[in-house]
Amino acid sequence: MPGRLDWRKLERQLEHARKYGQIARPQWVPVRSSNVRAVRWNAADHTFDIRYREGRTYRYFDIEPGEAQELMRRSHGEHVWDILRVRGSRTAHRKLWKEITGTAAAA
């Protein structure tokens, strides 16, 4: 079902990566949203990537597991405004971020 992360699978991948000194590459999860196309959370480095419908991809830093889970339970647009950005602002963010559109990191 789009919009839900398999947290058990994610935890197993992370445990495997820790055990064998590898970093499990997180997968894009398609979501139902008028603005967001897909998301992915990297548990190893606490980054959260968002691919917007208009084509740009952004990486947010210092995202805790609870914040990542909350995105999957709530409206994705709400999460962006309430946790990642400052509601009503065009440029203010609550978390550090960078655009990764067109980079290897966005693949």
pLDDT digits (tens, 9 = 90+) for 47-87: 989 898 899 999 988 888 888 877 766 655 666 666 676 67
Report d(CA 48, CA 5) in Å as an integer.
13
Residue pair 30/2 in contact (Cβ under 8 Å)? The answer is: yes
The answer to whether position 2 is within a domain reads no
Work out the mean pLDDT of the chain and round it to a whole number.
Answer: 76
The answer to whether position 85 is within a domain reads yes
Report d(CA 31, CA 20) in Å as an integer.
31
Q: What is the pLDDT of residue 5?
A: 58
Q: What is the pLDDT of residue 1?
A: 38
Residue pair 27/40 in contact (Cβ under 8 Å)? The answer is: yes
The answer to whether position 25 is within a domain reads yes
The number of domains in the chain is 1
Reduced to 3 states (helix: H, G, I; strand: E, B; else coil), residue 52 is: strand
